[in-house]
Amino acid sequence: MSADLAIDVSGLNKSFGAKHVVRDLSLQVPRGQIFGFLGPNGSGKTTSIRLICGLLTADSGSGTCLGYDVIHESAAIKREVGYMTQRFSLWEDLTIRENLDFVARMYGMADRREVVGRELEKLGLAARQDQLAGSLSGGWKQRLALAACLLHRPRLLLLDEPTAGVDPKARRDFWDEIHGLAAQGITVLVSTHYMDEAERCHQLAYIAYGRLLVAGTAAQVIASQSLAGFTVTGSDLSAYAATLRGQPGIEQVTPFGATLHVTGHDRAALAATAARLAADSAYRWTPIEPGLEDVFIGLMQGTEDNFA
């Protein structure tokens, strides 16, 4: 394994009963990068992350995480990982400080008061340290959960849809914190359904029903799909969308606010259809470069749910 790689795994597989949840997962993640996992609900994202970090044992495959073997040295990996679950999992009847002090005691920290105090200051929680966790808003609960993850100074953070249910400002503040941690050399694996968050990751992977379909930077992922696209504006777009589906070159018709995004892989056929339909002055067709959301909608539509 290269010293620059935090994660280097190959051919990981995991089944639960008859369900093959992760199929031949191979991935490399450089140290200090934010790596985003996207895909439909139940597609194997969380299981993949847990396999990589030794929280689950793969049925087959090999690799390393933080320099440790993912199959045989999982206990060593766990000591270097901070895991933030989607659901708030701390104690709502304890204060912020009491929660962090309890977590520090579980890690056996001799200097836990100093460590807790430092994290309270770093994440802006000091002024609220005596507030019960159960009375916090979603954004403050999220910040408390992140502080608990960081107490033992992990080298790797696992974030499972960490901003679900929080407002846009809290999401932006959270991502500023995550980028600051990555700049310090901490590697971050994050699952998300938000495209704006995906674009803030250094690299992305799209997983559907156990298979990794595409990985790379946002620009690389978009380029790999070779999609062509148009925006369409005009009246009664809902009815118009129904007439577009199935036309030559048109694979996706998706509402985006007051427009439709029309995309397909056959650039020539799509352009010919757009030219023909644009003759109707009631609708305006404008060429665009498809974005991440167009790409992921296309990937989702083109993937069979083998878990069904």
pLDDT in tens, 178-216: 999 999 999 999 988 888 888 999 999 999 888 999 999
All residues at 6 or more sequence positions from 170 whose CB lies less than 8 Å from its CB, including other chains: 137, 138, 139, 142, 163
Q: How many domains does the chain have?
A: 2
Question: Contact, 207 vs 306, CB < 8 A?
Answer: no
Residue 307 has pLDDT above 60, yes or no: no
Q: Are the C-beta atoms of residues 79 and 108 closer than 8 Å to each other?
A: no
Could you tell me if 90 and 160 lie in one domain? yes
Q: How many residues does the chain have?
A: 308
Could you give the CA distance from residue 269 to residue 180 in angstroms, rounded to a whole number?
46
pLDDT in tens, 78-119: 889 998 887 777 898 999 999 899 999 988 888 888 899 988
Average pLDDT in the chain:
89
50 CA to centre of own chain: 14
Tell me the pLDDT band of 29, cut-offs 50, 70 and 90. very high
In the predicted model, is pLDDT for residue 42 greater than 90? no
Same domain, 107 and 138: yes
Q: Is residue 87 situated within a structural domain?
A: yes
The whole-number pLDDT of residue 136 equals 87
* Whether residue 184 is found in the same domain as residue 100: yes
pLDDT at 274: 94
Q: Given 198, 217, 236, which residue is the final one in a domain?
A: 217
Q: Are 121 and 257 found together in one domain?
A: no
Question: Each residue of 124-164: pLDDT tens digit?
Answer: 889 989 999 999 888 888 888 888 898 889 999 999 888 87
**CATH value at residue 278:** 3.30.70
Do 142 and 236 belong to one domain?
Answer: no
In a domain, 15, yes or no: no
Residue 97 belongs to what domain range? 31-54+74-217
Pair (162, 83) in one structural domain: yes
Beta strands per DSSP E along the chain: 5-16, 19-30, 34-38, 60-65, 68-69, 81-84, 156-160, 187-191, 203-208, 211-216, 228-234, 252-256, 259-264, 283-288
pLDDT at 302: 64
Give residue 27's pLDDT.
Answer: 92
